[in-house]
A and B are shown apart, each in its own frame.
Chain A
């Protein structure tokens, strides 16, 4: 009986799925708010993303959690998809591609956790 190697894919697939769901549910409106509405002064009050307000949000437990989850899971989702897409277009850079994609997701996760802890509560 051939012994088969268990794949560690579930970890990355799980992160991909969670990030994909969040991006699908909240991505478009987040992009609209942060990238279009606030900068152009549409719909929302002008002080919506002022420093005091955003700092308070980042210091709040829920705000911290939201920011962390959005940044890190979006990055893990994208890393997984981009890694596999590279493979599909013929770039089989193996460990190098893994480092580039998942590596950036990992760094982003660590950096956002660090900043969110440093701004305090």
Chain B
């Protein structure tokens, strides 16, 4: 059964969206390292902030951004498969509406997060 997933574009896409997990893990570990540095005091924390400015880190985070955005895109795209029917006003919501609502929620959440960070930082 080796390489079963290479034999069909549907399976290839599946493996691509599954592999976004590697990037989610890498980012979470980056944050974890930052948290540990925060716990070690100001100098350690500033060291982590400096490391985040390196070209390697910027490129890595751009890769994380693409991968995690693709995770979000496919996560909601799979809602018609993974979610029970959603009834609104006695009618089952169309798959396109469910998926679109998910993507909209993700965009709104992203903007809300940006807004909150902006306000705290000010």
Contacts and interface: CB of A to CB of B under 8 A. Distances in A.
Q: Do A and B share a direct contact in the complex (Cβ within 8 angstroms)?
A: yes
Contact of B72 (A25, A38, A78, A79): A25
A30 B110 CA distance: 8
A9 interface: no
Given A30-B113, A31-B61, A85-B21, A115 B35 contact: yes
A74 B24 contact: yes
A91 to B, nearest CB: 11
A29 interface: yes
A97 to B, nearest CB: 14
A77 B34 CA distance: 20
Contact of A119 (B2, B39, B62): B39
Given A34-B61, A48-B117, 18 more contacts: A20-B75, A25-B110, A26-B110, A33-B114, A36-B61, A38-B49, A39-B53, A39-B58, A43-B114, A44-B117, A45-B122, A70-B31, A71-B28, A78-B24, A85-B15, A88-B18, A90-B2, A115-B38
Interface of B: 1-2, 5, 15, 18-19, 21-22, 24-25, 27-32, 34-36, 38-39, 42, 45-46, 49, 52-53, 57-58, 60-62, 64-65, 68-69, 71-72, 75-76, 102, 105-106, 109-111, 113-114, 117-118, 120-122
In terms of DSSP, what is the predominant structure of the interface of chain A? helix
Contacts of A30: 27, 113
Given A25-B72, A29-B109, A77-B24, A85 B117 contact: no
Contact of B28 (A47, A53, A75): A75
